[in-house]
Structure 1
Amino acid sequence: MKKKLIVTDIDGTLVNDQKEIMPETKHELKKLIAQGHRVVLCSGRSINGLKDYLMTLGLWAMPDEYAITFNGGNVFDLATMKSIDAHYLSADQAIEADQLAKQLRVGDTLVVASQKSYAVNSQMNAQALEDIRDSQLVPVETDNYDFLEGEDIQKCLWTDEPDRITMVAKQIPAKYFDEFQIVRSGPIFLEFLPQDSSKGNAVQRLAQRLNVDLKDVIVFGDEENDLSMFKVAGTAVAMRNARDEIKEYADQITVTDHNHDGIGKTLKLMFE
């Protein structure tokens, strides 16, 4: 079989509700890696938030291995831990998205490449703290935007209860969609990213770097921010636990959900 590039989202996809890679999924991925297929983790998390999973799969600090972070905003060479493809918001864009969040009364933080999450003139809500925990970011509360001069801004992250995120997303003026890549990365998260930053764009650029035809790319995902990957990959696989509107864009659905080795069981069938 021709070697494949297997790209997987993390939360709701690779890991279960306890944030663990299930045994069969780990076994199948490690087996495919040993056979020469490539596995790339692709997430809205920071690189710190991927480290434990990359170590579990034997990819951390290995030569010619890569990981996609911040929804395509940064691609890391895991041997050198240097970015090979980075995209950032300008300071003006960061302030604009932050101020809109305050106008719409939704929680928000500014996440930067140096692994910090800033809240400006506000306290971090429970949803923001969940992101900080999963991404292993350093929380910083401040009363001004002076920090923007010395930071590379990955994204403005809006956080709140799912129904509240759904409501405020409908209130975003159209001009913002021309200036930002705006995606929902989870029920409680809405992200404002650089316009050319997406998981799909990152997968395309990495596949080109690795000389892999897009028809030989398999992607797994469960949320709106995974759809850009679905559109470019040869095989797009939605998790059984994904929303129906996400499944509509997939070529196939995993045989079970993320809590029951959905990726592992599906890969086993695909590579029989």
Structure 2
Amino acid sequence: MHQKLIALDLDGTTLNPDAQITLKTQRTLTELQNAGHIVSIVTGRPNRLSESIYQQLRLTSPMVNFNGALMHIPGQTWAGEYQYTINKAIVFQLFQLKERFKIQMIAAEGKTMFLADQAYANSLSFFPTTLKSDEILTQASLKQEPAAVTVFVERADQNALRAEILREFPDVSVNTWGGPASVLEIVHRGIHKTTGLAKLAAHYDIDQSDIIAFGDESNDLEMLAYAGTGVAMQNAIAPIKAIADDITPLTNAQDGVANYLRQYFKMD
């Protein structure tokens, strides 16, 4: 079988419910890399929360973070690296809107930056529950344009805040997170996972029809639609299953990605 590009969402997809890579998944992805296929992480996570997984899988491909806003090779200087950023004035505007919209936390991130206006105790583990002094977000500490701004807001205020941001800043996109948390994520307008996936395919000269992409949530929609084979997880939300070319028989708790790939590539 000729070379394929395998694009992997992390949470709810390649990672099990404990956010771990299982031995079966690791072994399967290593075998596919050794056979000459490209395995790449395409995630909404920041690079600070995905580089350990990248190292564990011994990947050498570029990684896509912040839902397409950043593509880089961890630990290397790479000519193809990019980062789409947004105007930091958005953050200052959010400070003004805190009371009106019951905003609980604002975080601004980029490849080499993490700042939050307060610690936020949550079950997501995406944000530190205590902040170091150099991680506190203020107008003075925010010196560079962020790749992504994450806003925790009361669910009742989510839609109104989203509309307000888009009205004030037409050059951004505002996405909502799946799952129990009420979160808005602000990125450069028109950026999504396919932004990175298309650049990956071009970098490796791989045809769109030779891309296999796995996902489970709304931020995977464009990626699965773009891939030659868009695969929804058994545990995916209904709109993702509806547009997918295929659905894994097993969930992310049952090694769904590894099981699917082993059958697809006839590895057993």
Give the whole-Å Cα distance in 2 for the aligned partners of 1:40 and 1:151.
28
Give the whole-Å Cα distance in 1 for the aligned partners of 2:53 and 2:90.
32
Moved over 6 A (4+): none
Query: Residue 118 of structure 1 corresponds to which residue in structure 2?
Result: 116
Give the whole-Å Cα distance in 1 for the aligned partners of 2:262 and 2:133.
38
Query: Residue 132 of structure 1 corresponds to which residue in structure 2?
Result: 127
Give the whole-Å Cα distance in 1 for the aligned partners of 2:241 and 2:37.
25
Query: Residue 159 of structure 1 corresponds to which residue in structure 2?
Result: 152
1:138 Cα shift? 8.9
- What is the percent sequence identity of the aligned residues? 25
Structure 1 or 2: more strand by fraction: 1
Query: Residue 35 of structure 2 corresponds to which residue in structure 1?
Result: 35
1:127 Cα shift? 3.5
Inter-CA distance 253–268: structure 2 relative to 1 (3 Å threshold) = same
Native 8 Å contact 1:181 1:197 kept in 2:
yes
Inter-CA distance 23–99: structure 2 relative to 1 (3 Å threshold) = farther
Query: Residue 262 of structure 1 corresponds to which residue in structure 2?
Result: 256
Tell me whether 1:95 sits opposite 2:92 in the alignment.
yes
Structure 1: segments with no counterpart, 5+ residues: none
Aligned pair count reads 258
Query: Residue 176 of structure 1 corresponds to which residue in structure 2?
Result: 166
Query: Residue 231 of structure 1 corresponds to which residue in structure 2?
Result: 225
Give the whole-Å Cα distance in 2 for the aligned partners of 1:233 and 1:126.
37
Native 8 Å contact 2:119 2:128 kept in 1:
no
Give the whole-Å Cα distance in 2 for the aligned partners of 1:90 and 1:261.
40
1:112-141 C-alpha deviation (Å, 9 max, x unpaired): 33231321xxx332249721259xx99723
Instruction: Give the letter for the 1:6 counterpart.
Output: I
Instruction: Give the letter for the 1:168 counterpart.
Output: D
If the length of structure 2 is used for normalisation, what is the TM-score?
Answer: 0.86
Native 8 Å contact 2:71 2:196 kept in 1:
yes
Query: Residue 185 of structure 1 corresponds to which residue in structure 2?
Result: 177
Instruction: Give the letter for the 2:87 counterpart.
Output: S
Inter-CA distance 133–9: structure 2 relative to 1 (3 Å threshold) = farther
Inter-CA distance 231–109: structure 2 relative to 1 (3 Å threshold) = same
Instruction: Give the letter for the 2:149 counterpart.
Output: C
Instruction: Give the letter for the 1:57 counterpart.
Output: L
Tell me whether 1:53 sits opposite 2:46 in the alignment.
no
Tell me whether 1:201 sits opposite 2:191 in the alignment.
no
Give the whole-Å Cα distance in 1 for the aligned partners of 2:99 and 2:107.
11
1:101 Cα shift? 5.6
Query: Residue 73 of structure 1 corresponds to which residue in structure 2?
Result: 69
Inter-CA distance 223–129: structure 2 relative to 1 (3 Å threshold) = closer
Instruction: Give the letter for the 1:248 counterpart.
Output: A
1:199-257 C-alpha deviation (Å, 9 max, x unpaired): 11111122112211111111111111111211211111111111112211211111111
Inter-CA distance 125–159: structure 2 relative to 1 (3 Å threshold) = same
Inter-CA distance 129–239: structure 2 relative to 1 (3 Å threshold) = closer
Instruction: Give the letter for the 2:211 counterpart.
Output: V
Instruction: Give the letter for the 1:28 counterpart.
Output: T
Instruction: Give the letter for the 1:220 counterpart.
Output: F
If the length of structure 1 is used for normalisation, what is the TM-score?
Answer: 0.84
Give the whole-Å Cα distance in 1 for the aligned partners of 2:234 and 2:99.
35
1:175 Cα shift? 6.8
Native 8 Å contact 1:98 1:109 kept in 2:
no
Instruction: Give the letter for the 1:68 counterpart.
Output: V
